[in-house]
Amino acid sequence: MYSQRIKIWPDEKVLLAKIARGREDAFAIIYNRFRKKIYTFSLQMLKSEEQAEEVMQETFLKLWQLQDDVERINNLEVYLRTLTRNKCLNVIRRLKLEVSADREMKWSWDEAHNETEEHILLRDTTNVLKAGIALLPQQQRQVYQLCREEGLKYEEVAERLNLSPLTVQTHMKMALRFLRNHLSKHTDLVILTIIFRLF
């Protein structure tokens, strides 16, 4: 019978209670304690540094957004490991769907298509995305441009804009959510598939 118990830090409940009250200092302790474990675990599953970084940020964002429910967590390490694993599996499932969609598009695509038409399509879809970016609130737009267009990490953006990494994560999530909704309203399915690759 398995009797060994997973180690729980004596201050874990205290930190979670502080996070429930919006204490960023307590969140920073948890972040520094687990970020390397979560990143390494994600990297092993996804084999992609960029995707592992994104899963790590999403995992911590989820923890922060739990608010009062965060105090119901009985074992933080088990919770974070399970959450990370589920997010990695979601990424893997999404990638498989994208590969499948790519295959379908290859077979259905007219091989005699005109390169000029392809250029026009790409230009039009890019314009839709640019229009959506212009509609973002200023800080969300700055965060999106620094992360996606300049390739900066959340910590680097936070330092440049004098914000906390958590605030940067939140702005990025909101920006992406808005842009996806904007694109889905202004493009058809084929164009949407192409333009989402620009993210």
- Evaluate whether 157 touches 145 at the Cβ level (below 8 Å): no
- Find the range with the poorest average confidence among 15-24, 107-116, 130-139: 107-116
Residue 54 lies in a domain: yes
Q: Tell me the average pLDDT across 65-82.
A: 88
In terms of pTM, does the model score above 0.85? no
**Do 102 and 133 share a domain, yes or no?**
no
Distance between CA atoms of residues 83 and 70, nearest Å: 13
Residue 1 lies in a domain: no
Write down which residue in 87, 108, 129 finishes a domain.
108
For 117-170, how does the pLDDT look when each residue is reduced to its tens digit (9 = 90+)?
Answer: 555 556 666 777 788 788 888 888 898 889 888 888 889 999 989 989 888 888
For 23-44, how does the pLDDT look when each residue is reduced to its tens digit (9 = 90+)?
Answer: 888 898 999 999 999 999 999 9
**Do 127 and 100 share a domain, yes or no?**
no
**Is pLDDT at 7 greater than 50 in this prediction?**
no
Average pLDDT value for the chain: 78
**Do 199 and 122 share a domain, yes or no?**
yes
Query: HEC string of 130-196?
Result: HHHHHHCCHHHHHHHHHHHHCCCCHHHHHHHHCCCHHHHHHHHHHHHHHHHHHHHHHCCHHHHHHHH
Supply the range of the domain harboring residue 26: 8-108
